[in-house]
Amino acid sequence: MNSNTETAPTFSRNVADLPGPKGLPIFGNQLQMRGSQWHVTLAGHIRQFGPIFRLEAFGIPIVVVSDRAAVGNLLRERPEGFERSGGLRARMNELKVGGVFTAEGDDWRKQRKMVTGGLSVDVIRNFFPTMGFMTERMLNRWKAALAEGKPIDLRRDLKALALDIIVGISMGYDLDVVNDDSNPLQHDLDNLMRRLASRGTSLYPYWRRFKLPADRVADKSANDVEQTVLEFIKSTRERMKQQPQVREKPSNMLEAMIAASEDPDSDFTDQELISNAISSVVGGVDTTANTIGWMINLLAQNPAAAASLAGEVDEVLGDARLSRDWDQMKQFPYLDAAHNETQRLRSATPFLGLISKADSVIVDTFVPKGMVIFVPTNCGDGMDEAHFPQHQLFQPERWISEQKLHKDDDPSRKVFPFGGGPRLCPGRFLALVEIKVVVSMIMRNFDLEFDTRAPPVTQVMNFFMSPSAVPVRLKLRA
């Protein structure tokens, strides 16, 4: 793929030769790449035009690559060969969502080391009892609501629990947003996500010249989130002065980053500390909450799969109402399969946007330096009948080795829900543990009943892809 070999790679076509959907005069396909459903449109183009095709926005070509091998190579060659677009990085930084998400090169390596250290297996294992406590708090809230005949807003509650967990493990604070409907942090994060999504597909960065009301609201939310994080940092620094031993053995990501920033030999700055603290919260809420929301929707509409998962959970947990044993995280193969199937059908991050840093050859096509490239995380194969028969159906069994039609066919090599290569999502392991703890709690204690009278659940691209609703009623199991 890359052009840094001694012998120049061969190719048979240029980007201009690629097929693609017809666009409008001047605009090209730009208007098709806007709105909360643009990723669905792009997925349709992949099915129509194949593993590599061309879009255009105001005369500027964009390449969409869904070939599985090529996508794997693209992800492995980051950050040297490919990086996030400068426009997206600037838009994220303007709303104070930066850190390791937007860093490149040596800055990224330095920040990645700090973030992954704060989300290591040891840190997550030590936090596991607290995660169980927070999950039990949600269970008690739901039980109380059912006893009083009150409705349960699953979409809101799953986000609140995800926020409690990510703030707890990344900063060491228990907000209890689950039981605090007035906490402004979730509202501010939602504002940021909506504005990031809007600005990401904007035809022109107008907000740098004048601000609409929605921009002023988003700016205020960004400042409020930053102030909240600064308070966390201030309190943590004061505590670390009283407990200097914490510097040697940090218990959360914030402590690890503060210790690094105060090391005279480190060039980890306070601004990088603040940016990564904010981005850990932003990246750790919607992605996990949306995935669980989609899984609950799909399980409720597929009673056989829900029954299989409930049976597995009952066997693993026994009389317990939720998991309190770290070793149980390895004992949920069907839950793992249900998660993989959910990511195949409804990935929280359906596409990645990249820029080529050098001339390359991708799928027999010469791609020049500076080209914008869209990469679907399911590589198109996730919705391809040849790779996933009856691909529109939710069938966790296709991920279980004993039940695969072709034993040597590994579906995990066909989708990349957490990205791949060196820039694999640093919060991946935390997300997987959180999903197991929360979903196993739900299936152990409740039956799921899908509300067939509710409007159809649609995919909403709000920076991350979320369900428009989770119209599922919880009923206490006997």
Question: Which pLDDT score, from 0 to 100, does residue 68 have?
Answer: 83
Residues with Cβ within 8 Å of residue 300, at least 6 apart in sequence: 306, 448, 449, 450, 472
Q: In Å, how far are 107, 113, 175, 285 from 255, measured between CA atoms?
A: 20, 14, 18, 20
Do 341 and 297 meet the contact criterion of CB atoms below 8 Å apart?
A: no
In tens, the pLDDT along 29-69 reads 888 877 777 888 888 898 899 899 999 988 899 999 988 88
Do 377 and 392 meet the contact criterion of CB atoms below 8 Å apart?
A: no
Question: Which pLDDT score, from 0 to 100, does residue 303 have?
Answer: 96
Question: Which pLDDT score, from 0 to 100, does residue 3 have?
Answer: 45
Question: Which pLDDT score, from 0 to 100, does residue 415 have?
Answer: 66
**What single DSSP character describes residue 472?**
E
d(CA 110, CA 295): 35
In the three-class reduction of DSSP (H, G, I as helix; E, B as strand; rest coil), residue 478 is classed as coil
Question: Which pLDDT score, from 0 to 100, does residue 421 have?
Answer: 73
Classify residue 452 as exposed, middle or buried by CB count within 10 Å of its CB (0-12, 13-18, 19+). Answer: exposed
Q: In what order do the strands lie in the sheet with 13-14?
A: 13-14, 365-367, 360-362
Tokens 């979730």 locate to: 186
Strands 365-367 vs 360-362: parallel, antiparallel or unpaired:
antiparallel
Residues of the chain with confidence (pLDDT) below 70: 1-8, 379-384, 402-418
d(CA 161, CA 296): 15
In tens, the pLDDT along 397-455 reads 988 875 554 545 666 555 666 677 777 788 889 999 999 999 999 999 999 999 989 99
Question: Which pLDDT score, from 0 to 100, does residue 103 have?
Answer: 84
Nearest to 465, CA basis, from 286, 292, 283: 286
> DSSP labels for 106-146?
HHHHHHHHHHHHHT-HHHHHHHHHHHHHHHHHHHHHHHHHH
**CATH, domain 13-476, list 3.40.190.10, 1.10.630.10, 3.40.50.300, 1.10.10.10:** 1.10.630.10
Structure tokens at 140: 């008690």
Ramachandran area for residue 57 (φ above 0: left; ψ -120 to 50: alpha; else beta) = beta
Nearest to 440, CA basis, from 292, 250, 236: 292
Do 412 and 340 meet the contact criterion of CB atoms below 8 Å apart?
A: yes
Question: Which pLDDT score, from 0 to 100, does residue 260 have?
Answer: 78
Tokens 């800055």 locate to: 107
Do 228 and 175 meet the contact criterion of CB atoms below 8 Å apart?
A: no
Question: Which pLDDT score, from 0 to 100, does residue 108 have?
Answer: 84
d(CA 233, CA 262): 13
d(CA 356, CA 86): 11
| Cα-Cα end-to-end distance for the chain | 57
Nearest to 421, CA basis, from 83, 6, 39, 64: 83
Do 233 and 258 meet the contact criterion of CB atoms below 8 Å apart?
A: yes
d(CA 322, CA 202): 44
Question: Which pLDDT score, from 0 to 100, does residue 118 have?
Answer: 78
d(CA 260, CA 266): 6
Question: Which pLDDT score, from 0 to 100, does residue 4 have?
Answer: 47
d(CA 154, CA 146): 13
